[in-house]
């Protein structure tokens, strides 16, 4: 190790006009190896470190003369030493914590301390706790992040009051969760103040439209469907692709997005049918015997989906089927997972949270130790949001201060500027296997 390398990893002390590096002994080192490495005599090393009379110990702190022989050089004057630049940023968490809900006195005990935390408040606190853990992970001598938390109470009037607070003027970034009206108000502030606004709120892309400082951490449902169409066109070859709509307007938008994603990436066009016009016989007429029929069903109606998959399951002796559903299907409780597996059902989701990964395991271990509870999805999202900001500001960042792509715990973040905002385009494909969802290769 050279002296300039030692400087980069060590503190500096000046004693009686002489410059010393503060060096921590590593395992396996000896007095002989240290004197050879830093080109000083054993006598000089011991002279400057009287504790060596008791022997060299691992992690022991030593003073290494910057100029061997004890003669200070002009180039080593204290005045010429430049302290490393510390970058400071200010981040505001705008969350609907609604802490007042937990402070209403219990009617039986007359004591607010006996109240259980409101479920929504608890979720927001876990988001904050995840963000705090990210701050600890980002701790650095070259980066200092100041975090302020604001309870918006999901109320626009309250948000207006908060935005007038002096500390808000210092913010470089805002991370926000809230209803549409709250996000609209924060988005307006972000646009005029040119402060980056990050939100993991579902379908926030419409709210952030035309705000170059806006970051939608989760892709909208339409974006997800487009990306699913693109992914399926590349994954499934020589299939008969059909979109099965039940007739609602939301399904129409999703269907169009999926078809566009497919058609933009395949030489064979995808078609759509309106199930409400002819029901199951109408669907069968669009399917091809002897070919794999890829059926995308953009419905979130559990009864409709349950009826459809049950009937399709009875036709598998005639037709080959691969089903594709939307993220909400994961919460369906009445559908038999065995039937879903028979139909080779795939789902797409904006999250790729892997509970078995080493990073997730470490995060859960920390959360259990600190809060004696399992982390919710909100905790993972809070961690990711803060890491996105921190990773974009650490020394050596490719585009300092600009939110960039990141492999998070809750999701992967791949931002593209679309409709005047920065929207994450990542989706993850899973499939049913052995009565559970596994990654689709």
| More confident position, 41 or 102 | 41
Fold agreement (3-80, 87-219+355-424):
no
Q: Among residues of the chain, what percentage have pLDDT more than 70? A: 89
Enter the pTM of the model. 0.77
| Position 114 confidence tier, pLDDT thresholds 50, 70, 90 | very low
Q: What is the pLDDT of residue 435?
A: 82
Quick count: other Cβ atoms within 10 Å of Cβ 186? 26
- List of long-range contacts for 73-78, beta carbons under 8 Å, 24+ apart: 76/19, 78/14, 78/19
Distance of CA 412 to the CA centre of its chain: 7
Q: What is the pLDDT of residue 83?
A: 58
Q: What is the pLDDT of residue 218?
A: 97
pLDDT > 50? residue 424: yes
Angle separating helix axes 156-163 and 180-193, nearest 10 degrees: 20
pLDDT in tens, 149-191: 999 999 999 999 999 999 999 999 999 999 999 999 999 999 9
pLDDT in tens, 200-229: 998 899 999 999 999 999 999 999 999 999
* Pairing between β-strand 415-418 and β-strand 421-424 as defined by DSSP bridges: antiparallel
Interval 332-357 mean pLDDT: 94
Least confident residue range of 95-99, 231-235, 387-391? 95-99
User: CB-hemisphere CA count at 13 Å for 143?
Assistant: 21
Interval 364-381 mean pLDDT: 95
Q: What is the pLDDT of residue 151?
A: 96
* Pairing between β-strand 11-15 and β-strand 214-216 as defined by DSSP bridges: unpaired
Q: How far apart are CA 112 and CA 123, in angstroms?
A: 19
| Position 78 confidence tier, pLDDT thresholds 50, 70, 90 | very low
Element housing 322 (H / E) = strand 320-325
- Phi/psi for 70 (5° steps) reads 80, 15
pLDDT in tens, 281-302: 999 999 999 999 999 999 999 9
Tokens coding 355: 């509970």
Burial class (CB in 10 A: 0-12, 13-18, 19+), 9: exposed
Q: How far apart are CA 61 and CA 227, in angstroms?
A: 55
Q: What is the pLDDT of residue 106?
A: 55
pLDDT > 50? residue 107: yes
Q: What is the pLDDT of residue 421?
A: 96
Q: How far apart are CA 422 and CA 418, in angstroms?
A: 6
Q: Cα Rg for the chain, rounded, in angstroms?
A: 29
CATH number of 87-219+355-424: 3.40.50.2300
Measured in Å, how far apart are the chain's first and last C-alpha atoms?
46
Angle (nearest 5°) at CA 166 between 161 and 171? 100
Q: What is the pLDDT of residue 278?
A: 80
Q: What is the pLDDT of residue 1?
A: 42
Q: What is the pLDDT of residue 382?
A: 98
Q: How far apart are CA 178 and CA 187, in angstroms?
A: 11
Q: How far apart are CA 155 and CA 182, in angstroms?
A: 6
pLDDT > 60? residue 401: yes
Burial code (b: 16+ CB inside 10 Å, e: under 16) for 388-418 equals bbbbbbeeeeeeeeebeebebbbbbbbbeee
Tokens coding 245: 């709509």
Q: What is the pLDDT of residue 115?
A: 56
pLDDT > 90? residue 116: no
Q: What is the pLDDT of residue 34?
A: 84
Q: Among residues of the chain, what percentage have pLDDT more than 90? A: 65
Angle separating helix axes 249-263 and 221-235, nearest 10 degrees: 40
Domain ranges of the chain: 3-80, 87-219+355-424, 222-349
pLDDT in tens, 245-287: 988 888 999 999 999 999 999 998 999 999 988 889 999 999 9
Q: What is the pLDDT of residue 111?
A: 52
**In terms of Cα–Cα distance, which of 393, 400, 366 is closest to 380?**
366
pLDDT in tens, 19-76: 788 888 888 888 888 888 888 888 888 888 888 888 888 888 888 887 765 544 444 4
Instruction: State the average pLDDT for the chain.
Output: 88
Q: What is the pLDDT of residue 59?
A: 85
Instruction: Name the fold adopted by 222-349.
Output: Rossmann fold (3.40.50)
Helix, strand, coil fractions of the chain, as percent rounded to 5: 40, 20, 35
| More confident position, 79 or 295 | 295
The architecture in CATH of the region 3-80 reads Roll (3.10)
Least confident residue range of 34-43, 77-86, 388-397? 77-86
| More confident position, 270 or 400 | 270
Q: How far apart are CA 154 and CA 401, in angstroms?
A: 28
Tokens coding 235: 């994954």
pLDDT > 90? residue 195: yes
């Amino acid at each position: 190790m050279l002296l300039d390398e030692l400087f980069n990893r060590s503190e500096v002390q000046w004693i009686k006009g002489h410059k010393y590096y503060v060096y921590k002994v590593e395992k396996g080192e000896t007095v002989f190896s240290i004197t050879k490495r830093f080109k000083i005599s054993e006598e000089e090393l011991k002279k400057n470190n009287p504790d060596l009379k008791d022997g060299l110990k691992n992690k022991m702190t030593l003073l290494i003369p910057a100029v061997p022989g004890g003669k200070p050089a002009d180039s080593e004057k204290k005045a010429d030493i430049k302290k490393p630049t510390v970058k400071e940023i200010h981040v505001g968490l705008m969350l609907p914590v609604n802490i007042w809900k937990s402070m209403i006195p219990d009617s039986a005990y007359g004591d607010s301390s006996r109240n259980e935390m409101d479920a929504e408040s608890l979720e927001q606190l876990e988001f904050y706790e995840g963000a705090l853990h990210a701050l600890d992970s980002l701790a650095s001598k070259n980066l200092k992040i100041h975090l302020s938390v604001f309870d918006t109470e999901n109320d626009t009037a309250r948000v207006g009051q908060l935005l007038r607070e002096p500390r808000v003027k210092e913010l470089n970034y805002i991370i926000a969760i809230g209803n549409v009206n709250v996000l609209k108000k924060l988005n307006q502030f972000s646009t005029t103040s040119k402060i980056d606004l990050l939100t993991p709120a579902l379908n926030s892309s419409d709210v952030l439209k035309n705000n170059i400082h806006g970051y939608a951490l989760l892709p909208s449902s339409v974006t997800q469907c487009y990306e699913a169409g693109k992914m399926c066109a590349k994954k499934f070859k020589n299939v008969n692709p059909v979109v099965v709509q039940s007739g609602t307007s939301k399904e129409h938008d999703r269907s169009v997005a999926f078809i566009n994603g497919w058609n933009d990436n395949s030489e064979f066009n995808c078609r759509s049918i309106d199930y409400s016009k002819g029901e199951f016989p109408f669907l069968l007429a669009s399917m091809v015997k002897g070919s794999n029929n890829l059926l995308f069903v953009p419905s979130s109606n559990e009864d409709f989906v349950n009826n459809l998959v049950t009937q399709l399951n009875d036709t598998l002796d005639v037709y080959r089927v691969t089903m594709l559903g939307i993220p909400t299907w994961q919460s369906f409780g009445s559908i038999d997972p065995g039937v879903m597996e028979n139909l080779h059902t795939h789902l797409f989701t904006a999250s790729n949270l892997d509970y078995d990964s080493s990073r997730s395991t470490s995060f859960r271990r920390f959360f259990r130790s600190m809060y004696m509870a399992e982390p919710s999805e909100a905790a993972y999202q809070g961690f990711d949001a803060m890491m996105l900001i921190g990773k974009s500001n650490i020394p050596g960042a490719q585009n300092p201060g600009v939110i960039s792509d990141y492999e998070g715990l809750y999701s992967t973040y791949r931002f593209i500027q679309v409709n005047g905002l920065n929207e994450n385009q990542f989706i993850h494909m899973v499939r049913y296997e052995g009565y559970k969802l596994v990654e689709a290769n």
